[in-house]
Each structure stands twice: as structure tokens, then as C-alpha cells.
């Protein structure tokens, strides 16, 4: 038995099994429990260490050879697996309440397994192929078979696919850089291609036009899952490059590029959010600013930049899940997400409306909510480097906060005699309510996750020092 079999091949097999039940709540429960079990196993079961169970001794190998390629999951990677599968379980449990369990759970399990494989495969060139396979699996999730793909889905596929050749070519050039470290021209070429590849994968400005389109065309819950899993794994993949190549890690130009790209994402995403008239597009622009914050975290000083990056992942996933589920509750009842049709919906969907507003405010870093601790650390670290950059960050957050205020105004704007209703189901109310409680608890007591967060940087040998 080896770790890649447990956390990569086994989830791929489970993705086929959870497709068999015909009832959505069974699929959601099986998928959520499976992902939770994988998360617990990553936390409790040691890798590459003999485990004694009574008279038997069991040792889980860290690597396995598949088609001549090595797939490695080291003990230092286990906290990361715990986080990834634990957050995936959160999305799977909510899939039935969003009316999407039959599609999201099987495809989401397979996508998660492939992306985990992209982090573990050696050489890393094959990671680009695994990411592309995950992108292809995302297409039937975003566009059902009986529905013609919209512009957002097509553009998503094109942009993600365009990133693959740049990653592959940069890998080929990086092998030459390792052989000839003094070749400056080769290093510049490889870094340029690498940057272009990640610009497409992470939807760096102006390549994020598919995100607002996708939030209008597809299920908010499916889009939310993709906007969480793909950027998160891609950022972890990119951080691996910084950890592996010292000339990238120690380059002041690289840190400057990360900071500029992050600020551009936050500023443009926040300002565009301030003028949106569609709740789905609002969530899309908030997701864009979340990627910008992750890039800013990686550009900070090493002593707290990586810690801030990991501190950001969990609240971003929880906020997106609550936001996407709340929007899905509205669309399941045939409601359009445009402002003109959302007037006064707080009285018909009180819990979903509360989820939308609080998730949005958490994405702005409002104190007492989950996004605040990470945003505060990143903003403080950025101010140490440049006051001007910190002002631009504040401008982007102000735009995002303006969008939250406008959303709140629209949802509560009803005529005086409009009666209160309760159109959500008990399951939807329970899940959104629990999510809101977690938003507050994480914002008030972020130290509760310290046992997990403190071990996450160890996955990166040099950056985590």
C-alpha cells in the first residue's frame, strides 16, 4: 500500500462509485463522508513510518511508480491533503442542498484527485497534463449535456488550455537552467513562459473575463467549486516552483511581479464589483480579488508570507461555499440573480440572503468574519514594503465593500406591506446557518486551526524554513 494509491487512485475509484446512487442526498452523503475519511486518514495515518496494529505491522510507502513516473506524497504533504479533502467534503455535503449532487460529487471527487496528483507527480511536466484533464472534467460540471455551452464555458476551456503549452515549454527550459545556472538569457525565457502559463491558469488581469461570464451562465455552486479548487491547487503548484528554484525564489523582480499582479487583481476586481448589477458576477469578482490576495501573500517577507497564504485558503473556501449555496437556493426557485429581480428577496429567502451578505463581507476582510485575520496580516505586510501599494489594496477592498452594501440594499428593498415568507428548505437553512457560524468562529478564534496551519508550510522545504 502506498500514499498515492490512497489519496489519488482511491478517490478516482470512489468518483465512479458515488455516481451509482440515483438519489442526490445519498450521493452527497457518500461523497462527503468519503472525502472526510480521506482527510482524517491524512491527519491520523503516518506515511513512510511503520504503524503497529496488534500483532501486525503496516507501513504506507510514500511513492509509487506509474508508467515510469514517480508519484510522491511525503509526510510533510499530509497536512495539505487534510485541508484539501476536508474542504472538498464541505462542498460535497452541500451539493444536494444546491440541487447539484448527481454531477458535482462524482466529477468533483475526480477533479480533486487529479489536482492532488498534479502536486505529487515527478517530473512536474506531467502536472500540466493532469491539470488539463481536471479542466476537461469541469466542462460537463459547468455545462450539462442537454445545454449548449455558453461563452463563459468556452472561454474558460480556451484560456486554461492555452496555459498548458507555456508550462510545458518552461519545464523544458528549466531543465536547461538547472544544467547551466549561469545562462541568464535562458533563465529569463523560462521565467517568462512560466509567468504566461500561470497567468492563464490563475486568470490574471486581463485574462479573467471568463469568470463573470461563467457566473451568469452556469450553476453558482458548480462555478464556486471550480473557482475554489482550480486556483487553490494552481497556487500550490506555483509555490512549488518558487520553493524548487532558488533563483526564482530570491529574485526581487519575481516578488515585484507577484505583488503587482496581486494588486491589479484586487483593484480591478474590487472596482468592477462596485458597479455590478448581478449577484453571480459579484461573487466572480470577489473570487478574483481572493486570488489577488494569495499572490500578495506570496510576495511578502518569508517569515509570514507563506503563513498568510495558508491562513487565507480555508476562509476563502468557506466563504465561497456559503455564497455559492445561497445563490443556488435563489436560482433553484427560478429567480434571476439580476438586481432588478432581487428587490426585497430578504423577506422570501432570509437565510440565503444573510449567507450572501455575510460571505460578501467576509471577502472584504470585515472584522469578526473569517477573512479578516488573513487580510490583516497581508495588508500589514504590504504596508511594510510600500504605503502606496497598501493604499491601492484599500481601494480595491473599498470597491468590494461598496458592492456588498449595494447587495444588502437591494435584498432588503421591499414595499411596506410585503409579507415574510420562508422558501428555503430545512437542509438549506441548516447548512447556510452552520456556515455562517463557522465564518464568525474562524474570525473570532483563528488560533483553533493552528495545529493544522502550523504544519502546512513544511510541504515546501525552503520557503517553509
What confidence score (pLDDT) does residue 176 get?
66
- Between 457 and 283, the more confident residue is 283
**Domain boundary at 73, 88, 122, which?**
122
**Domain boundary at 87, 122, 157, which?**
122
Using CA atoms, how far apart are residues 319 and 386, in angstroms rounded to an integer? 29
Q: What range defines the domain where residue 464 resides?
A: 252-465
The residue written with cell numbers 460529487 in the block is 105
Number of structural domains (the chain) is 2
pLDDT band at 288 (very low <50, low <70, confident <90, very high): very high
Checking if the pLDDT of 192 tops 90, the result is no
- What's the mean pLDDT in 294-302? 85
pLDDT tens across 313-370, in order? 999 999 999 999 999 999 888 778 898 888 888 888 899 999 999 999 999 999 989 9
- Residue 216 forms part of a structural domain: no
pLDDT tens across 403-440, in order? 999 999 999 887 777 777 788 889 999 999 999 999 99
Supply the mean pLDDT for the chain.
Answer: 87
- Residue 192 forms part of a structural domain: no
- Residue 224 forms part of a structural domain: no
pTM for the whole structure: 0.93
- Residue 166 forms part of a structural domain: no
- Residue 230 forms part of a structural domain: no
- Residue 145 forms part of a structural domain: no
Judging by DSSP bridges, how do beta strands 121-122 and 69-72 pair with one another? antiparallel
Checking if the pLDDT of 207 tops 80, the result is yes
- What's the mean pLDDT in 108-125? 89
Q: Give the DSSP per-residue string, 46-102.
A: PSSSEEEETTEEEE-BSEEEETTEEEE--GGGHHHHHHHHHHHHHHHHTTTTTT-HH
What confidence score (pLDDT) does residue 303 get?
65
Using CA atoms, how far apart are residues 116 and 286, in angstroms rounded to an integer? 25
- What's the mean pLDDT in 444-452? 84
Judging by DSSP bridges, how do beta strands 63-66 and 69-72 pair with one another? antiparallel
Segment (H or E) for 121: strand 121-122
What confidence score (pLDDT) does residue 74 get?
85
The residue written with cell numbers 491524512 in the block is 42
pLDDT band at 61 (very low <50, low <70, confident <90, very high): confident
**Domain boundary at 122, 153, 170, which?**
122
- Residue 175 forms part of a structural domain: no
- Residue 430 forms part of a structural domain: yes
Amino acid at each position: 500500500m502506498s500514499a498515492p494509491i490512497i489519496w489519488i487512485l482511491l478517490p478516482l475509484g470512489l468518483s465512479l462509485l458515488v455516481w451509482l446512487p440515483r438519489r442526490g442526498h445519498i450521493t452527497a452523503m457518500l461523497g462527503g463522508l468519503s472525502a472526510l475519511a480521506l482527510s482524517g486518514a491524512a491527519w491520523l495515518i503516518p506515511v513512510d513510518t511503520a504503524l503497529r496494529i496488534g500483532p501486525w505491522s503496516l507501513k504506507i510507502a510514500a511513492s509509487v511508480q506509474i508508467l515510469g513516473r514517480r508519484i510522491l506524497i511525503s509526510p510533510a504533504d499530509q497536512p495539505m491533503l487534510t485541508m484539501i479533502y476536508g474542504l472538498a467534503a464541505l462542498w460535497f455535503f452541500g451539493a444536494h442542498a444546491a440541487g447539484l449532487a448527481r454531477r458535482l460529487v462524482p466529477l468533483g471527487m475526480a477533479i480533486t484527485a487529479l489536482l492532488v496528483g498534479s502536486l505529487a507527480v515527478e517530473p512536474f511536466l506531467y502536472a500540466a497534463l493532469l491539470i488539463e484533464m481536471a479542466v476537461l472534467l469541469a466542462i460537463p460540471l459547468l455545462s450539462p449535456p442537454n445545454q449548449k455551452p455558453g461563452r463563459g464555458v468556452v472561454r474558460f476551456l480556451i484560456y486554461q488550455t492555452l496555459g498548458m503549452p507555456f508550462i510545458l515549454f518552461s519545464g523544458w527550459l528549466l531543465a536547461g537552467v538547472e544544467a547551466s545556472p549561469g545562462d541568464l538569457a535562458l533563465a529569463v525565457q523560462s521565467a517568462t513562459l512560466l509567468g504566461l502559463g500561470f497567468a492563464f491558469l490563475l486568470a490574471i488581469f486581463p485574462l479573467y473575463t471568463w469568470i463573470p461570464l461563467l457566473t451568469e451562465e452556469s450553476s453558482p455552486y458548480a462555478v464556486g467549486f471550480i473557482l475554489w479548487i482550480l486556483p487553490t491547487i494552481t497556487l500550490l503548484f506555483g509555490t512549488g516552483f518558487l520553493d524548487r528554484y532558488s533563483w526564482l525564489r530570491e529574485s526581487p523582480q519575481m516578488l515585484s511581479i507577484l505583488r503587482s499582479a496581486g494588486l491589479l487583481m484586487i483593484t480591478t476586481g474590487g472596482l468592477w464589483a462596485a458597479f455590478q448589477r448581478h449577484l453571480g458576477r459579484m461573487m466572480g469578482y470577489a473570487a478574483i480579488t481572493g486570488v489577488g490576495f494569495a499572490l500578495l501573500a506570496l510576495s511578502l517577507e518569508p517569515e509570514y508570507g507563506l503563513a498568510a497564504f495558508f491562513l487565507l485558503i480555508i476562509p476563502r473556501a468557506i466563504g465561497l461555499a456559503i455564497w455559492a449555496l445561497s445563490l443556488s437556493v435563489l436560482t433553484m426557485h427560478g429567480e434571476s440573480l439580476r438586481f432588478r429581480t432581487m428587490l426585497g428577496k430578504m423577506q422570501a429567502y432570509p437565510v440565503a440572503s444573510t449567507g450572501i451578505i455575510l460571505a460578501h463581507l467576509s471577502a472584504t476582510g470585515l472584522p469578526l468574519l473569517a477573512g479578516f485575520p488573513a487580510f490583516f496580516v497581508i495588508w500589514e505586510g504590504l504596508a511594510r514594503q510600500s504605503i502606496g501599494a497598501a493604499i491601492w489594496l484599500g481601494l480595491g477592498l473599498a470597491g468590494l465593500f461598496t458592492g456588498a452594501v449595494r447587495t444588502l440594499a437591494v435584498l432588503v428593498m421591499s414595499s411596506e406591506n410585503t409579507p415574510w415568507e420562508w422558501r428555503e428548505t430545512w437542509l438549506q437553512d441548516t447548512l447556510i446557518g452552520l456556515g455562517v457560524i463557522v465564518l464568525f468562529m474562524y474570525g473570532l478564534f483563528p488560533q483553533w486551526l493552528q495545529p493544522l496551519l502550523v504544519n502546512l508550510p513544511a510541504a515546501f522545504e525552503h520557503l517553509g524554513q
